[in-house]
Amino acid sequence: MHAMITRRSWAVAGLTAAATLLLVPGPAHADRSPGSGSQGNADSGGGREGQDIVSVIRFSGATRGGGDSGGGGALKPVGDWSPPACWYEPRTAEQFRDQVERNYESTVNFPGQHSYAKAAVAQFRSKYKDGEYKNYNLKEKDEGNWWVAVRDPDRWLEDAAQKCDKEPFWVENGDPPPVANALTPELLAELAYNRLRLPDTKVSLAPEDTTKVNLPTWAWLDEAEFKPVSVTASVDVPGLDLRATTTARPDALRLAPGTPDARTHPASGECAPHGDGSIGTPYRKGRSDETPPCGLTYLRSSGKGTFKLQATITWKVSWTGTGNAGPNGLPSGSFGSDQPVAVEEVQSVNR
């Protein structure tokens, strides 16, 4: 039997001083994936969840997940870059003490718990209570914070999430944490990138749902729907006040007709933004003979079914934050979806 891990509790791993305090999702055994974790809501993160301390980072704005039933989805970075899978963040001396003690009690009192798990949590507790440190540094609680490794709950089994393997350590107020991936405004901005919720990518079409063979179909993005979206990530603990806002703006629209028997306008299928930031041009009466600056022309009927028009928007991303007015660039991302388009033959009239 493996040591049990409660939901998002700090798990003590290993039997020696290499044990590491980490935030991981559950409920699950340590060697089993628990499925996806929540991504936060309009004002999420920080504080407690039941008796477990969760990440002190708070997210607000156009966030996704957390039981939010709204539409839209996540931004997929273009290229190989991805937001951090793990990082280090601060805990007050009281928070650190309470969680270590709870984890110790729940582990040693769990029915049938293995002796190696009990030994691991006891050794870990001893180091911070009456070993290398004394009583969790409570006497110095106003002079600094504990820093602990935290994993993205959706990615905690990835190799990248295992790189934050340093044991909890003490940092005095004003001193930089001596590790990579410690919270900074830029790292907060990268984590906020992962929380952006984008609108469903349904383009406006003319004709709207049913078009005709060889009839140019105009496509554009509704400016009221497709506008910049932002998420702010912040941390406010004694001795540390950091925040960053990440903003995504529509930058290009790519159309894929769903059949090779079609032409896109322009031929590349990429519709660039106009000078005012809008993408595509709404159809106006009297322009049916014109070639749309953004759109497509189907060359055959869809029969009794429909073609799946795939519309993908590329979003340009930037951030501003504490001590850095910016804007500073982050990798662009994309998000798309399918929408059905019925194509009919033009009916001829015999006289």
Model confidence band, residue 202 (pLDDT cutoffs 50, 70, 90): confident
pLDDT score, position 220 = 95
Q: How far apart, in whole angstroms, are the C-alpha atoms of residue 193 and residue 40?
A: 13
Same domain, 18 and 74: yes
Same domain, 34 and 158: yes
> Residue 177 falls within a domain, yes or no?
yes
- Both tokens of 339, joined, read 């929408």
Domain that holds residue 180: 4-193
Quick: pLDDT tens for 251-298. 999 999 999 999 999 999 999 988 888 899 999 988 878 899 999 999
Model confidence at 54: pLDDT above 70: no
Model confidence band, residue 348 (pLDDT cutoffs 50, 70, 90): low
Mean pLDDT across the stretch 158-176? 93
Quick: pLDDT tens for 64-112. 644 344 456 888 998 899 999 999 999 999 999 999 999 999 999 999 9
pLDDT score, position 300 = 96
Same domain, 157 and 219: no
Model confidence at 230: pLDDT above 50: yes
pTM, whole model, 2 decimals?
A: 0.78
Quick: pLDDT tens for 204-220. 999 988 999 999 999 99
Same domain, 151 and 266: no
Model confidence at 56: pLDDT above 90: no
Q: Which residue, of 150, 168, 193, is where some domain finishes?
A: 193
pLDDT score, position 12 = 39
Same domain, 145 and 247: no
Q: 335 and 201 in contact (C-beta within 8 Å)?
A: yes
Model confidence at 10: pLDDT above 80: no
> Residue 218 falls within a domain, yes or no?
yes
Q: How far is CA 220 from CA 14, 66, 225, 270, 295, in A?
A: 56, 31, 11, 12, 8
Domain count, the chain: 2
Model confidence at 318: pLDDT above 50: yes
196 or 241: whose pLDDT is higher?
A: 196
The position carrying tokens 């399918």 is 338
Q: Which residues is 337 bridged to in the sheet?
A: 311
Burial class (CB in 10 A: 0-12, 13-18, 19+), 74: middle
Quick: pLDDT tens for 322-336. 988 879 999 999 999
Question: Which of 30-39, 160-169, 337-346 shows the lowest mean pLDDT across its residues?
Answer: 30-39
Q: 161 and 181 in contact (C-beta within 8 Å)?
A: no
> Residue 198 falls within a domain, yes or no?
no
Q: How far apart, in whole angstroms, are the C-alpha atoms of residue 78 and residue 287?
A: 36
> Residue 349 falls within a domain, yes or no?
no
Q: Which among 134, 97, 140 is positioned nearest to 238, based on CA atoms?
A: 140
> Residue 351 falls within a domain, yes or no?
no
Burial class (CB in 10 A: 0-12, 13-18, 19+), 65: middle
Pairing of strands 210-212, 217-220: unpaired
Q: Which among 127, 51, 53, 132 is positioned nearest to 92, based on CA atoms?
A: 53
Q: Please state, rounded to an integer, the average pLDDT across all residues of the chain.
A: 82
Model confidence at 343: pLDDT above 50: yes
Please give the span between the terminal C-alpha atoms of the chain, in angstroms, as a whole number: 84
Q: How far apart, in whole angstroms, are the C-alpha atoms of residue 193 and residue 99?
A: 29
Same domain, 172 and 256: no
Q: How far apart, in whole angstroms, are the C-alpha atoms of residue 56 and residue 235?
A: 6
DSSP letter at 174 equals T
Q: Which residue, of 173, 193, 213, is where some domain finishes?
A: 193
Model confidence at 20: pLDDT above 70: no
Same domain, 177 and 310: no
Same domain, 219 and 318: yes
List b or e across 298-328, with b for residues whose CB sees 16 or more CB atoms inside 10 angstroms.
beebbeeebbebbbbbbbbbbbbbbeeeeeb
The position carrying tokens 């984890």 is 103
pLDDT score, position 27 = 24
Q: How far apart, in whole angstroms, are the C-alpha atoms of residue 333 and residue 314?
A: 6
Same domain, 213 and 186: no
pLDDT score, position 49 = 38
Strand order across the beta sheet in which 262-265 lies: 204-206, 217-220, 295-298, 262-265
pLDDT score, position 72 = 67
Same domain, 41 and 170: yes
pLDDT score, position 67 = 37
Percent of the chain past pLDDT 90, that is, above it, reads 64
Model confidence band, residue 236 (pLDDT cutoffs 50, 70, 90): confident
Same domain, 117 and 240: no
* Cis bond upstream, residue 27 (ω within 30): yes
Q: Which residue, of 163, 193, 223, is where some domain finishes?
A: 193
> Residue 179 falls within a domain, yes or no?
yes
Q: 246 and 330 in contact (C-beta within 8 Å)?
A: yes
> Residue 228 falls within a domain, yes or no?
yes
> Residue 162 falls within a domain, yes or no?
yes
257 or 226: whose pLDDT is higher?
A: 257
Same domain, 20 and 111: yes
